[in-house]
Amino acid sequence: MSRSQRLGMLGLALVVLVAAFALLRPNDDDTGEPRDALRPSPTSTPGATREREATPTPTPEDRSPLLVADRVQRIEVRKGDHVRLRARSTRPDEVHVHGYDILRDLAPGKTVSLDFDADIEGIFEIEFEKSEAEVGNLVVTP
Protein backbone atom coordinates (compact mmCIF):
# COMPACT_ATOMS: atom_id res chain seq x y z
CA MET A 1 0.00 0.00 0.00
CA SER A 2 1.45 3.35 -0.97
CA ARG A 3 1.88 6.29 1.41
CA SER A 4 -0.99 8.23 -0.20
CA GLN A 5 -3.32 5.23 0.13
CA ARG A 6 -2.41 4.86 3.84
CA LEU A 7 -3.09 8.57 4.40
CA GLY A 8 -6.39 8.26 2.57
CA MET A 9 -7.41 5.29 4.74
CA LEU A 10 -6.36 7.17 7.88
CA GLY A 11 -8.41 10.20 6.79
CA LEU A 12 -11.45 7.99 6.09
CA ALA A 13 -11.10 6.32 9.50
CA LEU A 14 -10.96 9.73 11.16
CA VAL A 15 -14.12 10.88 9.37
CA VAL A 16 -15.94 7.68 10.44
CA LEU A 17 -14.85 8.17 14.08
CA VAL A 18 -15.99 11.79 14.13
CA ALA A 19 -19.36 10.86 12.59
CA ALA A 20 -19.81 7.99 15.08
CA PHE A 21 -19.00 10.28 18.00
CA ALA A 22 -21.46 12.91 16.78
CA LEU A 23 -24.24 10.35 16.40
CA LEU A 24 -23.61 8.36 19.58
CA ARG A 25 -22.64 11.01 22.10
CA PRO A 26 -24.96 11.36 25.12
CA ASN A 27 -27.61 14.04 24.99
CA ASP A 28 -26.68 16.86 27.37
CA ASP A 29 -30.31 17.94 27.60
CA ASP A 30 -31.47 15.43 30.19
CA THR A 31 -33.77 17.98 31.79
CA GLY A 32 -36.62 16.91 29.54
CA GLU A 33 -37.44 20.51 28.75
CA PRO A 34 -38.85 21.14 25.29
CA ARG A 35 -36.50 22.98 22.96
CA ASP A 36 -38.96 25.85 22.66
CA ALA A 37 -38.82 26.59 26.40
CA LEU A 38 -37.87 30.21 25.72
CA ARG A 39 -40.83 32.41 26.43
CA PRO A 40 -41.25 36.07 27.38
CA SER A 41 -41.16 36.63 31.10
CA PRO A 42 -44.56 37.54 32.58
CA THR A 43 -43.37 41.08 33.32
CA SER A 44 -41.74 41.71 29.93
CA THR A 45 -43.10 44.06 27.34
CA PRO A 46 -43.55 43.21 23.65
CA GLY A 47 -40.23 43.32 21.83
CA ALA A 48 -38.26 42.80 25.04
CA THR A 49 -35.54 40.18 25.16
CA ARG A 50 -36.62 36.62 25.77
CA GLU A 51 -35.39 34.68 28.77
CA ARG A 52 -35.56 31.07 29.90
CA GLU A 53 -38.59 30.28 32.02
CA ALA A 54 -37.63 29.20 35.54
CA THR A 55 -38.00 25.47 36.11
CA PRO A 56 -38.18 23.86 39.52
CA THR A 57 -35.47 21.44 40.60
CA PRO A 58 -36.82 17.94 39.96
CA THR A 59 -37.65 15.86 43.00
CA PRO A 60 -37.10 12.08 42.88
CA GLU A 61 -40.72 11.45 41.90
CA ASP A 62 -40.36 13.95 39.01
CA ARG A 63 -37.62 11.90 37.32
CA SER A 64 -40.12 9.98 35.20
CA PRO A 65 -39.78 10.51 31.42
CA LEU A 66 -41.14 13.82 30.13
CA LEU A 67 -42.79 13.48 26.74
CA VAL A 68 -42.59 16.50 24.43
CA ALA A 69 -43.43 16.97 20.76
CA ASP A 70 -39.91 17.49 19.43
CA ARG A 71 -38.49 14.03 20.17
CA VAL A 72 -39.53 10.37 20.36
CA GLN A 73 -38.49 8.56 23.52
CA ARG A 74 -38.17 4.81 24.01
CA ILE A 75 -39.43 3.76 27.44
CA GLU A 76 -38.61 0.18 28.40
CA VAL A 77 -40.34 -1.56 31.32
CA ARG A 78 -41.11 -5.10 32.40
CA LYS A 79 -44.61 -6.53 32.53
CA GLY A 80 -46.06 -5.79 35.97
CA ASP A 81 -43.99 -2.62 36.51
CA HIS A 82 -45.73 0.57 37.55
CA VAL A 83 -45.27 3.19 34.83
CA ARG A 84 -45.27 6.93 35.45
CA LEU A 85 -44.92 9.26 32.48
CA ARG A 86 -45.20 13.02 32.25
CA ALA A 87 -46.22 15.00 29.18
CA ARG A 88 -46.16 18.67 28.27
CA SER A 89 -47.17 20.53 25.13
CA THR A 90 -46.94 24.14 24.00
CA ARG A 91 -50.49 24.00 22.63
CA PRO A 92 -53.77 22.31 23.66
CA ASP A 93 -53.60 18.60 22.85
CA GLU A 94 -54.16 15.11 24.24
CA VAL A 95 -51.52 12.51 25.08
CA HIS A 96 -52.56 8.95 24.18
CA VAL A 97 -50.85 5.67 25.12
CA HIS A 98 -52.06 3.33 22.37
CA GLY A 99 -52.92 -0.23 23.37
CA TYR A 100 -53.61 0.87 26.93
CA ASP A 101 -56.14 3.46 25.73
CA ILE A 102 -54.96 6.03 28.25
CA LEU A 103 -55.80 9.60 27.23
CA ARG A 104 -55.05 12.84 29.13
CA ASP A 105 -55.79 16.41 28.10
CA LEU A 106 -52.80 18.74 27.77
CA ALA A 107 -53.09 22.43 28.52
CA PRO A 108 -50.35 24.64 27.05
CA GLY A 109 -47.27 24.71 29.28
CA LYS A 110 -48.80 22.43 31.93
CA THR A 111 -47.39 19.00 32.79
CA VAL A 112 -49.73 16.03 33.21
CA SER A 113 -48.89 12.64 34.70
CA LEU A 114 -49.94 9.24 33.44
CA ASP A 115 -49.73 6.45 36.02
CA PHE A 116 -50.60 2.84 35.19
CA ASP A 117 -49.42 -0.74 35.54
CA ALA A 118 -47.73 -2.31 32.51
CA ASP A 119 -49.91 -5.41 32.25
CA ILE A 120 -49.85 -5.87 28.44
CA GLU A 121 -46.65 -6.97 26.66
CA GLY A 122 -45.65 -5.32 23.39
CA ILE A 123 -44.59 -2.03 21.86
CA PHE A 124 -47.07 0.80 22.17
CA GLU A 125 -46.98 4.19 20.47
CA ILE A 126 -47.43 7.28 22.60
CA GLU A 127 -48.82 10.20 20.62
CA PHE A 128 -50.03 13.76 20.94
CA GLU A 129 -53.37 13.15 19.24
CA LYS A 130 -54.37 16.54 17.82
CA SER A 131 -50.94 17.34 16.39
CA GLU A 132 -50.38 13.67 15.42
CA ALA A 133 -46.85 13.85 16.87
CA GLU A 134 -45.32 10.56 18.01
CA VAL A 135 -43.59 11.31 21.32
CA GLY A 136 -42.68 7.86 22.58
CA ASN A 137 -42.69 4.12 22.33
CA LEU A 138 -43.53 2.09 25.43
CA VAL A 139 -41.77 -1.28 25.28
CA VAL A 140 -43.19 -3.82 27.75
CA THR A 141 -41.15 -7.03 27.99
CA PRO A 142 -41.94 -10.25 29.91
Q: State the 10-residue block means of pLDDT for the chain, 142 residues long.
A: 76 66 50 37 36 41 77 94 94 95 94 94 95 94 94
Q: Which helix (H) or strand (E) holds 24?
A: helix 3-24
Please state the length of the chain: 142
Backbone conformation region of residue 101, classed left if phi is above 0, alpha if psi is from -120 to 50, else beta: left
The predicted structure's pLDDT at residue 1: 75
Residues 87, 106 contacting (CB under 8 angstroms): yes
CATH architecture of 58-141: Sandwich (2.60)
Q: What is the DSSP string of 47-84?
A: TPPPEEPP-PPPPGGG-S-EE-TT--EEEEEETT-EEE
Residues 106, 93 contacting (CB under 8 angstroms): yes
The predicted structure's pLDDT at residue 36: 36
Name the residue among 90, 91, 77 with its Cα closest to residue 122.
77
User: What letter represents residue 28's amino acid?
Assistant: D
Report domain extents, the chain. 58-141
0.85 cut: is pTM over it? no
